[in-house]
Structure 1
């Protein structure tokens, strides 16, 4: 079996995603081309499939190839702010990690004091209206690409989105930001690239407020 047929890992796919991100910043790829190649990279199963998205980009070290001499591309600063890499918690209940998927947490789910979100091309909905919290203040650490994050909170909850770093993204906070007066205060930190975050109350709570109930 040759190198092209070897299976690739999520870490290799994410490395290729970072290289494509740099290529956008250097003007080698348009956002449309970036999206198409990211789709291919995330679906790649072998090194041959993964390397196909890099083959025409100068100065890129292909997966499984010996390191090439440094070039202008490799040494270039990344196009977007890059967060420091921190290992995700061992406990899977403290992390949501998805690729091209939809994830929903609702009902009486257990909410840890800190929740890490690492999602690409995914839609995440976290419904806290019936959730079981162990602490009043819950921190969400976000490191997402091309996704949407919907936060549904009880009427008395507060949500602080001011610590988010945005790249081509949007925020829509329809609830109070603080201080933490109720049983839940969400603090969202980290980075969101080409995505959106919405914090809101449940639909029924919105109508009760309009009706004065």
Structure 2
């Protein structure tokens, strides 16, 4: 399976933690980071961190709610496709670690306000060609984006949750003669106060 930027970043984070904990020398860290960012497949990434712990250990603190796991979820990824039509994904549903959305001469709505997040980070890869994709996330979720608008618009209203253990939704992709719009959905009370 081809490795994504998120896969490489996950491996780089494990390597950074190992360097900080003294498990790797700076030279070993440098070699492994180079190998991680040069890897083309997930199979090439696994040997780089095989001898290292998968997660950094959290410092002992007062008991709190367990954070969402960073590892891959058992919930598969989702594909949402709209070609000369529309598609919607909303309501109460389990969000996988990756969702792919493709709109060609059509529109897609992805509403995460009632979704159940089983992992810490969810990546939504969007391609809109002469179409549009709208993504809504709840206020208590961190929203980040890095996409491109080519004769179109790729607008992500970034939002950092106050909770450091909150789920993170990352939007990537491109809008080609189309539009991508992602924003946190504020509650009715907040909307009334703004008016």
TM-score, with structure 1 as normaliser? 0.49
Q: Give the greater-gyration-radius structure (CA).
A: 1
Aligned in 2, Cα 1:173/1:165: closer, same or farther, shift over 3 Å?
closer
Q: Deviations over 1:119-138 (max 9, x none)?
A: 20111111111111121211
Aligned length: 120
Indicate yes or no: 2:98 matched with 1:114: yes
Over aligned residue pairs, what C-alpha RMSD do you find?
2.8
* C-alpha contact 1:156 1:182 (8 A) present in aligned 2: no
Name the CA shift for 1:172/1:157 in 2 (closer, same or farther; >3 Å).
Answer: same
User: Deviation digits for residues 71-129 of structure 1, max 9, x if unmatched?
Assistant: xxxxxxxxxxxxxxxxxxxx985211221111111111121101112220111111111
Q: Deviations over 1:130-176 (max 9, x none)?
A: 11112121101122201111111111212212x21220111333441
Which residue of structure 2 aligns with residue 68 of structure 1? none
**What is residue 173 of structure 1 aligned with on the other side?**
156
CA offset digits 1:26-56 (Å, max 9, x no partner): xxxxxxxxxxxxxxxxxxxxxxxxxxxxxxx
User: What is the aligned partner in structure 2 of residue 136 from structure 1?
Assistant: 120
Q: Is the 8 A contact 2:144 2:158 kept in 1?
A: no
Partner of residue 168, structure 2: 185
**CA–CA distance in structure 2, aligned partners of residues 166 and 211 of structure 1:** 33
The counterpart of 1:155, out of the listed 110, 125, 139, is: 139
Q: Is the 8 A contact 2:143 2:184 kept in 1?
A: no
Unaligned runs of 5+ in 2: 1-74
Aligned position for 2:55: none
Is contact 1:160–1:178 with CA below 8 Å preserved after alignment?
A: no
